[in-house]
Amino acid sequence: MNLVLNVSNHLIANSESLAEEIVNGVLVSMKLDIPLWEKEQAIEMYIHFIKFLGESLINEEEEIPETLIEWSKNNAARQISPKGKISEIMVRYSPTRGVFTDIMTKISIDFGLSLEDFSFIIKRINNMLDISLNETVFAFERLSDEYKEETQRELAELSAPIVLIQKGVAVLPLIGIIDSYRANYIMEKVVPKIAELQIDYIIADFSGMFTIDTDIARHLYEIGQMLNLLGIQTLTTGLRPELAKTVVNSGINLSDITTFANVKQALESLN
C-alpha cells in the first residue's frame, strides 16, 4: 500500500506534465491537429483527471471529477451540427487508454508496483474513461434530439409562411416536403394565425411542394375543411398532375376543392 501511496503522490505532484504527455501522445498517435484552445482545454481536464485519480487511489473512491463530466458533455455539444459525428470523439478513447497504459506501466516499474497494484490502477483509469465515454454519447443523443426538433420546427415555419397580399386575402405557400410533423404544425400553429388575420380567403399554393403522400393529402384536406368551418374559403393552386393523382388516390373528392392553375388566376377570380 505504501508503494501505491507513493504513486498517488507522484500523480498529484506531476499532474500538469502528465496531462500534457497524455494529450500530446493521443494527438501524435492519431495524427490529429486540433485548435490550441481545444488542446489547452483537454490538458486542463486531464490535470483534474490525474489529480482525482491520485486521490482516489488513497481514498478508494470510484466516482469521477465533475470537470470530466462537463468536458465529456462539451465534446458532445461540439459535434451537434448537420455533419457532426460522435464517432470523431469516440475514436479518441482507444488511443487515450493506450497512452495512459504506457505511462502507468513506466510509473509502476519505476515505483516497483506489483502486478496486482498495477491492474488496480488501470481498472480505475478505464472505469473513469468508460464513464466519460458514456456521458459523451448520452449527451450527444440528447442534444441531437433537441437539435432535430428545433430544426424541424424552423423548417416547418419556413415551409408554410402566411403572406397577406391584399385585404381579406392571404397566400399559404406550401414549400418543400410536407411530412406529418409539418402537417401537424400547420394544423396547430398556422391555422390559428390565419384565423387571427380575419381574412375571407386563403390561397393554398402547392407549386413549391416536391411530393405528397396519401396521409399528408388527407391532413391538408382536413386543414382546408377546418378553415372553411372558420368562415375562411380555401382556394388551391399549383396542384401538379402527379400531386393531384395522389390526392385522388387518397379518396379526396377534387370536386369539393376550388382549384386554379396559379395564384394569379385565383386572385383574378376574387376580383
- 3-class DSSP assignment, residue 233: strand
Residues 11, 117 within the same domain: yes
DSSP string, 118-169: HHHHHHHHHHHHHHHHHHHHHHHHHHHHHHHHHHHHHHHHHHS--EEEETTE
> ∠82-216-231 over CA atoms, to 5°?
120
Answer with the one of 153, 180, 208 that is the final residue of a domain: 153
- Name residue, grid cell 370536386: 255
**Domains identified in the chain, total number:** 2
Residue type, 261: A
- 3-class DSSP assignment, residue 260: strand
When the pLDDT of each residue in the chain is averaged and rounded to a whole number, the result is 85
Answer with the one of 125, 153, 181 that is the final residue of a domain: 153
Q: Please name the residues in contact with 141: beta carbons below 8 A apart, sequence gap of 6 or more.
A: none
Residues 205, 146 within the same domain: no
pTM exceeds cut of 0.85: no
Question: Using 50, 70 and 90 to split pLDDT, how confident is the model at 259?
Answer: confident
pLDDT tens profile 169-206: 998 888 877 777 788 888 888 888 888 888 899 998 88
User: In the predicted model, is pLDDT for residue 61 greater than 70?
Assistant: no
- pLDDT at position 159 is 62
CATH number at residue 222: 3.30.750.24
Residues 38, 76 within the same domain: yes
- pLDDT at position 109 is 93
Residues 146, 18 within the same domain: yes
β-sheet bridge partners, residue 163? 171
Its domain, for residue 109, covers 2-153
- 3-class DSSP assignment, residue 204: strand
Please, how many CA atoms are within 13 Å of residue 28, restricted to the half-sphere of its CB? 8
